[in-house]
Every structure is written in C-alpha cells, then in structure tokens.
C-alpha cells in the first residue's frame, strides 16, 4: 500500500550565509520587513522612535524573529501615538502606560539580547500623554495625520 502525503510548498530556504529576515528602512522612518526575500510586514509607527529601528536592525542581524519584534514594537508605539493624538484632540489623557508596560515586558522576554532602555520614555508618554519621548516633538499633523486618515476610511 502506497500512501502519498500532500504538502503545501515550503517557504524558500535562504542561501548559505543569507539572513532569513531582512529589513529596509523607508524615507519616513518606517521599515519593510522581508522573510526569505518576501515582504511580510511594513511598520507604521517606527517613525516616532529611531531606537526601535536600531533594535529591529540588530535583531535581524542576529537572525532572531524580526517579524515578531516588528509587530510587537509597532503595537507598542501605536498605543503611545493613539493616546497622544486623542489627548491633543480632547485634552483628556487615556493613559495607556499599563498596556505599554505589559507589551514592553513581553518584548524584553522574547529578545533578551536587547535592553530596550528607551521604552521607559515611551511608557511615560503613553501614561501621561506628555513627556520627553520623540513623539512630543512632532506636530499634531505629522503625528496624528495618518491615524486620522485611517479612522476616516
């Protein structure tokens, strides 16, 4: 008796010496993430934190799961951006510091080779909607314009 198994095509295997995960910084400060040369994710919030991009590049160079990191870090920065934009619109701070703290702990546990010291200023900004994070220096349009466009779609 002959049994045949149908398998879905496997993802291409990187050539020897080639990184499975690669990143490409965009002009706006965000990144395109490639897995085995296929685009799998584009960040939307890395423009507010150059340190996030530097961490992403190191994680990709170390052959760690840069897609997972990019998605988690993007969610982390999105919480800050959403809180600050809502505060600028309403003068009321939703305070997402605890959610950001939880995501930061998850990220730190998954990528112990990085310190993520910069997370502290972002958590402060998410908690208080004002602070020393880079997003504080963005104009409202630069920080919130993209989010408002997506909300109106």
Give tens-digit pLDDT for 47-96.
999 999 999 999 999 999 999 999 999 999 999 999 999 999 999 999 99
3-state SS string for the chain: CCCCCCCCCCCCCCCCCCCCEEEEECCCCCEEEEECCEEEEECCCHHHCHHHHHHHHHHHHCCCCHHHHHHHHHHHHHHHHHHHHHHHHHCCCCCCHHHHHHHHHHHHHHCCCCCCCCHHHHHHHHHHCCCCCHHHHCCHHHHHHHHHHHHHC
Q: Residue 10: is its pLDDT beyond 50?
A: no
Q: What's the confidence (pLDDT) of residue 75?
A: 98
Q: What's the confidence (pLDDT) of residue 74?
A: 97
Give tens-digit pLDDT for 73-86.
999 999 999 999 99
Q: What's the confidence (pLDDT) of residue 132?
A: 82
Give tens-digit pLDDT for 127-142.
999 888 877 778 888 8
């Amino acid at each position: 008796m002959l049994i045949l198994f149908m398998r879905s095509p496997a993802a291409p295997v990187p050539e020897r010496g080639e990184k499975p995960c690669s990143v490409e910084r965009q002009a706006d400060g965000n990144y395109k993430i490639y897995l085995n040369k296929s685009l799998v994710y584009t960040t939307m919030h890395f423009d507010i934190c150059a340190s996030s991009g530097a961490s992403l590049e190191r994680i990709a160079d170390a052959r760690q799961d840069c897609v997972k990191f990019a998605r988690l870090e993007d969610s982390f920065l999105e919480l800050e951006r959403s809180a600050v934009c809502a505060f600028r619109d309403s003068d009321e701070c939703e305070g997402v510091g605890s959610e950001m703290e939880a995501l930061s702990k998850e990220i730190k546990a998954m990528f112990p080779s990085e310190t993520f010291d910069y997370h502290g200023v972002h958590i402060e900004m998410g908690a208080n909607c004002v602070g020393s994070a880079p997003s504080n220096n963005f104009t409202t349009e630069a920080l919130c314009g993209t989010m408002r466009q997506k909300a109106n779609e």
